[in-house]
Amino acid sequence: MTDGPAPHILYIDDDDALRRLVARALGRQGYDVSSAASGAEGVAMAAQGGFDLVAVDHYMPGMDGLETLAAITALTDPPPVVYVTGSDEGRIAVAALKAGAADYVVKTVGEDFFDLLSASFEQVLDRARLERAKAEAEAELRASNARLEAMLSEVNHRVANSLQLVSAMIGLQKGVLADAEAREALEDTQRRIRAIAQVHRRLYTANDVELVDLRDYLSALVEELAESWSSDVMPRTLTLTAEPIRVKTDRAVSIGVIVTELVTNACKYAYPDGRGEVRIIVSRDGDQCVLAVEDDGCGMADGQAPQGTGLGAKLIRAMAQSLQSAVEYDPTHSGVRAVLRVPV
C-alpha cells in the first residue's frame, strides 16, 4: 500500500467468525477494518461515510449481496465495492460487476482468501485514487479553460470598445473639418475601423474565439455599410447572399476590409445618380470560399486607373495577399464584378 493513513474498509458478511478473521488478517496488512453483520446494517454504515472501500458477501439473509450493492452504489459519492462470491458462482460475479462492483474475489478456505482480498483492495483503491486525480485534473483544466475564455472575451470586448472609441473620435474630428476631401477620407477610415470592430464583436459574443461565421459577420457589416451609404436623397441597396462558412479570425478581418473597400467603391462610383444595388455574394466552391461584390453601374473602362486616392486599391491588394489570393474583375459583367477566392 502507499504511504498515508490506513484505508478504512467496511466488510459486510453475516458470518461472525469470518468477519473477525478478515478484520484481524487485513489489520496486519495495514487496513482499518469495520464490519457489519447484514446488508441493511452495512448500507446504513456506508451512508454515514468515511469508508474508502466496501466489501460485500453475496449470501446473506434478508438483504443479499446484490441488493446491498445496489443500495450502496445509489448513495451520494459511494465508495468502490468489492464483491465476494463462492468458487462456482461466476454468473453472480458477472452480475455484480454489471451492477457496479469494482472487482470481485472468490471466497476460499485458508490464508489465500485474505491475500486475494488484500490484493483486490489495493488494486481497487489505486484505481480509485487515479480516477479521483483524473477528475480533479479535468475539473482544474475546465476551470482554467473557462478563465482563459473569459479573459479572451474580455480582451475582444475591450478591443471592440477601443475601436469604437477611435471611430467616435474620428467622427468628432470629421465634424469640425471644412475640407470635403478630408471629411471623406475620415469617413473611409471609420468604415475600415468598423469592419475590424465587427470581428471582435462577433468574438466576444460567441463561444468560439478562433473562427468567425462569415454569414453572420458580413450581415452585420453590410447593415452598417448600408446605414452609412444610403439616404433618402441617394438611396442605395446593399444585399447579401451568403452560405454559413467559418473562417479564422484574422482571415475574417481581411475579408471584411476587402468587402468594405469594394462596397465603398461601388457606392461612390458605380451609379452617378446615386441610386442602385450592390450585391455581396459568398459561396463555397470545393475547398474555397468565393466572395463576389458586384453592381450594375457604369463599369470601368479597360486600363482605367482607380478613382480617388488609390489607398482603397492598395488595401484590397494587401488584404488579398494576406489571404494568399487576389481580387479579379469579371470583364463580361455589365457593371463591375470583383471576385476573391479564399482557401478555407
User: Which range, 108-112, 180-184, 204-208, has the best average confidence (pLDDT)?
Assistant: 180-184
Contacts 24+ apart (CB under 8 A), 200-206: 200/156, 200/157, 200/159, 200/160, 200/163, 201/156, 201/160, 202/252, 203/152, 203/153, 203/156, 203/249, 204/152, 204/153, 204/154, 204/156, 204/157, 204/160
Q: Output the pLDDT for position 218.
A: 92
What confidence tens digit (pLDDT) does each residue in 316-339 have? Answer: 999 999 999 999 999 899 899 999
* Residue 3 binned pLDDT confidence (cut-offs 50, 70, 90): low
Does 9 score more than 80 pLDDT?
yes
Q: pLDDT (tens digit, 9 = 90+) per residue, 19-60? A: 999 999 999 999 999 999 999 999 999 999 999 999 999 999
pLDDT band, very low/low/confident/very high, at 303 (cuts 50, 70, 90): low
| pLDDT (0 to 100) of residue 195 | 81
Confidence band for 134, pLDDT divided at 50, 70 and 90: very high
Q: Identify the residue with better confidence: 237 or 153.
A: 237
Residue 25: per-residue pLDDT: 92
Q: Give 172-196 pLDDT, tens digit per residue.
A: 998 889 888 898 889 888 888 888 8
Instruction: Identify which of 202, 292, 280 has the alpha carbon closest to the alpha carbon of residue 246.
Output: 202
pLDDT digits over 251-286, tens only?
Answer: 998 999 999 999 999 988 888 887 889 999 999 999
* Mean pLDDT across 118-131: 92
Q: Any idea where the domains of the chain sit in the sequence?
A: 8-107, 211-344
Question: 97, 107, 88, 344: which is closest to 211 by C-alpha?
Answer: 344
Task: Pick 81 or 211 by higher pLDDT.
Answer: 81
Give residues with Cβ within 8 angstroms of 144, minimum separation 6. Answer: none
**What is the third-level CATH fold of 8-107?**
Rossmann fold (3.40.50)
Is the pLDDT at 287 greater than 80? The verdict is yes
Report the percentage of the chain scoring pLDDT > 90: 55
What would the mean pLDDT of 211-231 be, rounded to a whole number? 87
pLDDT of 2 strictly over 60: no
Whether 67 and 42 have beta carbons less than 8 Å apart is answered as: no
- The answer to whether 191 and 264 have CB atoms below 8 angstroms apart is yes
Is the separation of the CB atoms in 5 and 51 below 8 Å? no
pLDDT of residue 104: 92
pLDDT for position 58: 93
Q: Decide: 328 and 294 in contact? Cβ < 8 Å.
A: no
CATH homologous superfamily for the domain 211-344:
Histidine kinase-like ATPase, C-terminal domain (3.30.565.10)
Q: Is there a shared CATH topology between the 8-107 domain and the 211-344 domain?
A: no
Find, among 283, 265, 159, the residue nearest to 214 by Cα. Answer: 283
Mean pLDDT score of the chain: 88
Look at the block and give the residue holding cell 467616435: 168
